[in-house]
Amino acid sequence: MNCSALRLALLLAFLTGPSQALVPDTPFEPYLGQEPPGAEPVAFAPGLVSSPGYEYGVTISPDMDAFYFIQGREDGEGQNFVVVRPGPEGWTPEVISARVGQPFVSPDGETLHLGRRFMTRKESGWSDIQTLGAHFEDYAIMRLTASRSGTYIFDEIGSSDGDGLIRISRLVDGERQTPVPLGPAINTGRFNAHPFIAPDESYILFDGRREHGEGHSDIYVSFRQSDGEWGEAINLGAPVNTQAWEASASVSPDGRYLFFHRMVSEGEQAGLPNVDIMWVDASVIDELRPD
């Protein structure tokens, strides 16, 4: 069995295994028992999630009882796929497998997306890993997210010049539509990536580099207009965006908090930079919404 197959086998074994032992004796505290942030972003769950190392790609199950993310290994030899779930002794992190893609749990909790691959929930656990099909084979997808109605938004690695595009694929009468690039409101500037579509499709979050940005890479929001088109992208500004790299934003399933990722230090620890999972009150998005 090659390394890729072994990783997928480990992931499947974890996700389809018994979960009875993970049920806590008492109701779990939301958000890992953390003090909620206000208008100033802070690192999420220091010591449990965020650390002096590399944490990235957080996604939260709709019932708020599983926090998935990617974590750099202490020895610098690659990255792990990690989940924090409530157990008999409280919130507990556990390594699922080696990294197999950037995870995203669909709004209904029935699909775990992994870029061009995905798994669907079954009574016994999760299905085998599947591919999205011919419509998506030509794209080196980093992150794919989905709305409640099944619309996909995804990126691609692109070339070294940062020319990758963000694309959309809708589900019409049960048929998956061919992905098409979003317009210049989104695909302007360079390194546009890591999109998140709101469950109700009212806005898209993404990151990229544009003239007059705050720094290395900023997070933007585009609101859906009354005619169905996407409005001009708005820089979330300070204090979300800084001179550092900010990327891969999403909003918690209850709509209360914005999660994103920030490079805290370019200094390497075991071969990886210090990237933290940050969170902030989601009102930073609502304040930018057009009247």
d(CA 187, CA 54): 28
| pLDDT at 205 (0 to 100) | 98
pLDDT at 9: 47
Question: What is the reported pLDDT for 1?
Answer: 46
Mean pLDDT by 10 residues, the chain (291 residues): 46 44 57 94 93 91 93 84 89 86 94 92 81 92 97 90 91 94 95 97 96 89 96 96 95 97 74 87 95 79
pLDDT for 128: 84
Q: Using an 8 Å Cβ cutoff, are 115 and 101 in contact?
A: yes
At residue 219, the pLDDT reads: 97
Q: Give the predicted TM-score (pTM) of the model.
A: 0.88
The confidence score (pLDDT) of residue 217 equals 92
Q: Taking Cα atoms as reference points, which of 183, 201, 179 lies closest to residue 192?
A: 183
Please check whether residue 112 is in contact with residue 126, taking contact to mean a CB–CB distance below 8 angstroms.
yes
Task: Determine the pLDDT at residue 127.
Answer: 81
Nearest in space to 126 (alpha carbons), one of 134, 137, 136, 114? 114
- Where are the chain's structural domains? 3-11+54-286
DSSP states of 102-134 as a string? -EEE-TTSSEEEETTEEEEEETTEEPPPEE--G
Structure confidence at residue 267 (pLDDT): 58
* Cα–Cα distance for residue pair 282/280, rounded to 1 Å: 6
The residue whose two tokens read 């919404």 is: 289
Say if residue 107 is preceded by a cis peptide, omega within 30 of 0: no
- Residue 224 neighbours by CB distance under 10 Å: 16
What does the pLDDT read at residue 216?
Answer: 86
Identify any residues that bridge with 196 across adjacent strands, giving them in sequence order.
205
DSSP type of residue 179? P
Question: What is the fold, at CATH topology level, of the domain defined by 3-11+54-286?
Answer: Neuraminidase (2.120.10)
Looking at residue 171, its amino acid is L
